[in-house]
Chains A and B, each alone.
Chain A
Amino acid sequence: MPRDLELIRNETVKVWKKKRFAVILLILLVLVPIFVYAQMKIAQSSQDKFADWRAELRQRITDNTNALSSDRIPEEWKKWRIALVQQLQYYLDRDVNPNTPNAVRFTNTFLQNAVGLFIPLMVLAVASDIVSSERAGGTIKMLLTRPVRRWRILASKLVTLTLYVSLILVSTAAVSYLVAGLVFGYGGWAEPVFVGFKLQGTDLDTSAVHAVPQGVYMLMQLGLVWFSAMTVAVIAFMVSVLVRSTAASLVTMMAAVISGSILANMASSWHSAKYLFNVNLDLSVYLQGSPPPIEGMTLAFSLLVLGVWALAAIVVSFAAFTRQDILA
């Protein structure tokens, strides 16, 4: 056991010294301020237009209701709007502002938008490289000729990957909270968010709705984002074991993730697409109570699909890594 800790330490050091995490942090520090600035502009313009938030909310409800009567918008968009209108109405009825600008709110919105593409891409920067770079660089020959069984080496890499995925998520949340706080203030932890909206056909079932503090909502969201990021990471890990070149494994995974977000927007009539891992990545839709990309998908279903994919990827990774011949 102490030797396993040494192995994990080794792998962590390698990723760290390769400055992978430093690059990710740098990307965050450049991008997050841009989004914060954009959010600030939105807040300013609505402040100019509306006397208070209730007027703004009413305007949004009216706009979306009007859009519903148009024939030109597709059916699934309509469903999404219906859900939105009813949710906004729910907030209005209870006199709760769903859009108070503060750092916690910004962080939640940012995570919600980042779960589909931005976070998977950052995770891939580590995951696609962690095994294939050893093969491309030839260092795998040194690594596998030491008196340690292959599965232990791979396990140490998997643990290291898990550590870095968690670190990336925490840093994403931390950077967006800290940067947004400069503009919007650091409060908002206790503000209520309503969760538990259920869509029944075109009706929103509000029987299970309850309020949770925004801080708790952030933790719930982080948990879901972590699960989907880990699934992407583990599948990329498998590709990294199977493919020798880092570039090839990175491109394969990026294609998979991006095609997932495209499919999620168009596959509503292709029902079996819901078994693909890449349309299930956006777990935060369930938290928001928005309609899922494909009918019949629920939080439990998505967790199960992602879990099965991740498990299969781990099994394939270990089976391949412990057996493969290192010929070149």
Chain B
Amino acid sequence: MLTDANSKAQARSHAPAIPDPAAPAGQPLSDETVLSVERLCKTIRGRRIIDDISFDVRAGEVYGFLGPNGSGKTTTIRMLVDLVKPTSGRVLVCGEDVHRHPDRALRHVGCIVENPEMYGYMTGWENLDLFARMQEVGESRIEEVARIVRLDERIHDKVKTYSLGMRQRLGIAQALLGAPKLLILDEPTNGLDPKGIKELRAFIRELAAQGMSVFVSSHLLSEIQLLCDRVAIIDGGKVIATSDVGEMLAQAEAHTLWLFEDPAAGRGLLSSDARVVVADGDREFLDESVLLALPGAIPTRVRQDDIPDVVARCAQAGVRVVAVQRVVPTLESLFLTLTGGGRDAEGS
């Protein structure tokens, strides 16, 4: 009775809570730490922007960096690649201090910070050639990365004629040039269409499967859920939790939306059921596009195991169910659980 998991609105921003074959499978991870962030702080004009952030990224894992806009994600990422010097703390990439020996540490890193900005007055190839020369990479590798991101047909066109998606791919090609051990992508799906997002996800999983660590920032929980093995959640410049993505989602309460032919009868029935908590107040935490797909649906909190019984009870009572849908908690509701629940941050 679950609604079609592939309905468009849902596929775009929300995944079903039931296991998805596309979701990251628990693959064996090596214990080698590729990126190690230790007690990172940054104070700008007396204001503490980043406050004591620590986390580790292991080889071959996709690591999510989740937080709302303005939480310090980008500043942290800029510190990971030596664009911003930390006030205190350090960043190690493959054991090398990024701020003391950027020439050694950044050899293992490929990155796109915010938008992939390249020289528009040059061709894609010329751009890649510039960056290849900075790190002793040969022409054959340029050809290779252009092919990997499937840009080989347009590689000799000026970058200013590229679409946003192509620029993103060129940015990734640039990041991959030096065959890095760590790929850092800052909100990589920004501005991509759904097809592009899906391709990018598959691409990132593939890179990770080959042993590359990928560090991805996002403000969308669903994005992290579909892509990442582990996650650090940042808010107000602090890491409020680091954990396995599955564990984290299990902690946050999922909502179940109910749509009845006769809403009033349905609401009465749900309210009288001890296993179900009708939570109209939680509506603001739910993704608008999901609510749009099921207008008039009643948000509830209920254990997944209890749903079949509740549905059966509805059927017995003659209240016809149109749709029942589990929805992933949004970042806001997750924050509420994590901070309101009095959970201590593991990361610091």
Binding site for B on A (CB under 8 A): 3, 6-7, 9-10, 13-14, 17-19, 137-139, 141-142, 144-150, 323, 325-327
Contacts and interface: CB of A to CB of B under 8 A. Distances in A.
Interface of B: 44, 75, 78, 81-85, 102-107, 109, 111, 113-115, 117-122, 126, 130-131, 133-136, 174, 178
A149 B117 contact: no
A137 B133 contact: no
B118 A142 contact: yes
A142 B117 contact: yes
A146 B122 CA distance: 19
Nearest to A325: B84
A141 B113 contact: yes
A37 to B, nearest CB: 35
B114 A148 contact: no
A145 B119 CA distance: 16
A147 B115 CA distance: 20
B134 A148 contact: yes
Contacts of A142: 117-118, 131, 174
24 contacts: A7-B134, A10-B133, A13-B130, A18-B121, A137-B119, A138-B115, A139-B117, A139-B119, A141-B83, A141-B114, A141-B117, A145-B81, A145-B83, A145-B113, A147-B102, A147-B103, A147-B104, A147-B134, A147-B135, A149-B102, A150-B102, A325-B83, A326-B84, A327-B44
B130 A326 contact: no
Given A145-B82, A327-B78, A138 B121 contact: no
B108 to A, nearest CB: 8
Contacts of A148: 103, 134-135
Contacts of B44: 325, 327
A323 B106 CA distance: 17
A10 B131 CA distance: 9
Contacts of A14: 119, 122, 130
Contacts of A19: 121
B122 A17 contact: yes
Contacts of B84: 325-327
A9 B120 CA distance: 18
Contacts of B136: 3
Contacts of A18: 121
A3 B136 CA distance: 8
B133 A6 contact: yes
Contacts of B119: 14, 17, 137, 139
Contact of A17 (B85, B114, B121, B133): B121
Contacts of A144: 82-83
Contacts of A147: 102-107, 134-135, 178
B230 to A, nearest CB: 24
Contact of A323 (B78, B85, B105): B85
* Among all A-B residue pairs, the 8 with the closest Cβ atoms: A138-B117, A326-B83, A147-B107, A6-B133, A147-B106, A325-B84, A145-B81, A146-B134
B157 to A, nearest CB: 14
Point out which of B44, B103, B118, B120 has the most chain A C-beta atoms below 10 A from its C-beta. Answer: B103
A3 B131 CA distance: 12
A311 B131 CA distance: 30
Contacts of A138: 114-115, 117
B112 to A, nearest CB: 8
Contacts of A146: 106, 131, 134-135
Contacts of A3: 134, 136
A151 to B, nearest CB: 11
A142 B178 CA distance: 13
Given A146-B106, A326-B84, A139 B113 contact: no
A6 B137 CA distance: 12
A141 B136 CA distance: 19
B172 to A, nearest CB: 12
Contacts of A137: 117, 119-120
Given A10-B133, A147-B102, 6 more contacts: A3-B134, A3-B136, A17-B119, A144-B82, A145-B83, A327-B75
A263 to B, nearest CB: 36
A9 B133 CA distance: 9
Contacts of B174: 142
Most chain B CB within a 10 A radius of its CB, from A13, A138, A147, A323: A147
